[in-house]
Structure 1
Amino acid sequence: MAGLSGQYAVFATLIDGLTAEEWDTPTRCTGWQVCDVAAHVVGNAVDTANGVAGTRTPDEQARAFRGESPDDLAAELRSAAGRLIPLLETLNDRVWERPSPVPGRSVGNGVHTLWYDTFVHGDDIRVALGRPEDRGPGLAGSVGWLRDELERLGRGPYRLVLDGLGEYAIGADGPVLRGDPLRFALVATGRADPAEFGTDVGVNVHLP
């Protein structure tokens, strides 16, 4: 919850005050400009705060919010986070482990997914605009989510040895994927070539 709260604050600051030209800049997300990426992240937060998580696709969220200004979307995200985080703080471990409205995910995993999604899409915007990388807590949080997701999907086996994040086995006796954690996050989400880590597209959690 602390990670998600902090990542929402970072994302709101990132988009707040962007120019019209920056808002319309294409990103590496196919068919999406910066405004679409931001609209999806804000739509996710709003839907979750409103108790309707999973009812709209990313494209539907992007269409619903992309017409708003950067400042208005930043304010909308801060407002949604201000409602969502206190609500999450009331949940006990039993509720955290229950199924979420999104099939295949627990409530806790769903919150972790929001943290990952916000971090990775923030990186999409930073790359599009030539901004510095974010190597704050969201990077480790996103790698942790990707590791869990690879296990959930039955991928691997792999042995992750990522700079500054230690070592983690997914399955037994898998090949070592060694290197920079941000580059791993990009590879594991289909944003970079898996050959960087000596592996194939099976490491991409978004492929069926």
Structure 2
Amino acid sequence: MDIWTLVREDRLALADLLEGLTPEQWSTDSLCSAWTVKDVAAHVAPTVGGGLLQFLVVLAGAGFNPHKASERIVRDSGHVPMAAIVADLRDHADQQKAPPGLGTASQLADVLVHTLDVAVPLGLPVDRPAEHWQQALTWLVGPQARRGFVGPDLPEVTLVAQDVEWTHGQGPRVQGSAAALALALCGRSALLDDLSGPGAEALAQWVRGPQGGEQPLE
């Protein structure tokens, strides 16, 4: 299936999840460092922060540091109502734009991981099709993801997503759900206890080291 079709489906699924939240849940701390659930939702919404063009402008002003650029855009979007964020995800679910050099699969990984950033601290399930996770995980372990999204020097381990039949790497085995592996690759420690195998401790140390950190994906 086309990547943009998967992105569209996941944006709509995130909109469904967000639409049912209470104001207190919107204000809950997400897994993404210093961001609330609302902040993460505003970050993922395709045009709330002005869209890709605005992101590139802010990125240049932030010294081409994607994390600083994202933080500024989210900060400037604090006034946007919750309903408008949900509407933006629905109305622009078909948007087909990705930052230069990152590829379309970056947007799939972005929406899936940020959905976990919202759902996990709220104790809500995230059930996305296997193909979505396979494509996102393959991007996360690839070279494009090293451009500010996944830390360098991943440990030499074999990653095995048991629920979606996906494997990558060489070395001691680390097994678990696709969601737990995706969060670990993005520096989130929330589901590390769900991973097992002889390589799990090496991956956990990498996540908790200086190259980890619960940062936004773009």
Do the two structures share a fold, i.e. TM-score over 0.5? Answer: yes
Q: Partners in 2 of 1:133 and 1:169 — Cα distance?
A: 22
1:40 aligns with 2:43: yes
**Counterpart-to-counterpart distance in 2, 1:151 and 1:186:** 13
Find the aligned partners of 2:211 and 2:177 in 1 and give their Cα distance. Answer: 22
Corresponding residue SS for 1:178: strand
Q: 1:101 to 1:184 in 2, by over 3 A?
A: closer
2:211 corresponds to 1:207: yes
What residue number does 1:96 align with? Answer: none
Scaled by the length of structure 2, what TM-score is found? 0.69
Where is the helix percentage greater, Structure 1 or Structure 2?
Answer: 1
Whether 1:141 and 2:135 are equivalent positions in the alignment is yes
Offset at residue 190 of structure 1 (A): 1.7
Residue matched to 2:161: 162
Question: Is residue 71 of structure 1 aligned with residue 71 of structure 2?
Answer: no
Deviation string for 1:140-178 (max 9, x for gaps)? 3332222224985564433222204445443xx533222
Give the letter aligned to residue 181 of structure 1.
A
1:103-162 Cα offsets, whole Å, 9 max, x none, are xx24xx2x2111111111111111222212334344333322222249855644332222
Q: Which runs of 5+ in 1 are unaligned?
A: 89-99
User: Does 133-142 or 57-66 show the bigger shift?
Assistant: 133-142
Give TM-score, length-normalised by structure 1. Answer: 0.72
**Where do 1:185-204 residues align within 5 Å?**
185-192=182-189, 193=192, 196=196, 197-200=200-203, 201-202=205-206
Structure 1 residues 69, 199: closer, same or farther in 2, change over 3 A? same
- Within a 5 Å distance, the mapping from 1:55-66 to structure 2 comes to 55-56=57-58, 57-66=69-78
Q: Is 1:122 aligned with 2:126?
A: no
Is the Cα contact below 8 Å between 2:161 and 2:177 reproduced in 1?
yes
Are the counterparts in 2 of residues 49 and 80 from structure 1 also a CA contact under 8 Å?
no
Q: RCO greater where, 1 or 2, for CA within 8 Å and sep 6 or more?
A: 2
Partner amino acid for 2:176?
A: G
**Aligned residues: CA RMSD:** 3.2
Partner of 1:94 in structure 2? none
Uncovered stretches (5+) of structure 2, i.e. residues with no partner: 59-68, 147-151, 213-218
Q: State the distance in 1 between where 2:207 and 2:30 align.
A: 22
**What is the SS of the residue equivalent to 1:81?**
coil
Cα deviation digits, residues 34-60 of structure 1 (max 9, x gap): 111111112xx2268554444442212
How many residue pairs were aligned? Answer: 185
Which residue does 1:31 correspond to in 2? 34
